């Protein structure tokens, strides 16, 4: 079965869990934050005040790191 990732608004923890489904929510969030910190194009997304990612932000994340199901 070939899953397709939908570009839409996602909660920060929701997106983290999609990328790291075998991690706890806390660990998934830390891993996602680490990816953002090391990528200059994503660094602005580290802001802890952001609760949700817009579709435009999600599109940027996918462009930089790939779709979750490809990882």
Domain ranges of the chain: 18-66
Kindly state the average pLDDT of the residues 27-48: 92
| Residue-by-residue DSSP string for 1-54 | -------S-EEHHHHHHHH-TTS-HHHHHHHHHHHHHH-TTTGGGG-TT--EE-
pLDDT at 1: 40
pTM for this model (two decimals): 0.86
Of all residues in the chain, the percent with pLDDT exceeding 70 is 93
With cut-offs at 50, 70 and 90, classify the pLDDT of residue 46.
confident
Q: How far apart are CA 29 and CA 31, in angstroms?
A: 5
């Amino acid at each position: 079965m070939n899953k397709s990732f939908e570009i839409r608004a996602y909660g920060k923890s929701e997106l983290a869990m999609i990328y790291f489904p075998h991690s706890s929510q806390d660990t998934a969030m830390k891993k996602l934050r680490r990816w953002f910190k090391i990528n200059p194009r994503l660094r602005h997304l580290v802001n802890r005040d952001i609760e949700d990612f817009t579709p435009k932000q999600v599109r940027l994340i996918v462009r930089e790191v790939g779709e979750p199901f490809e990882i």
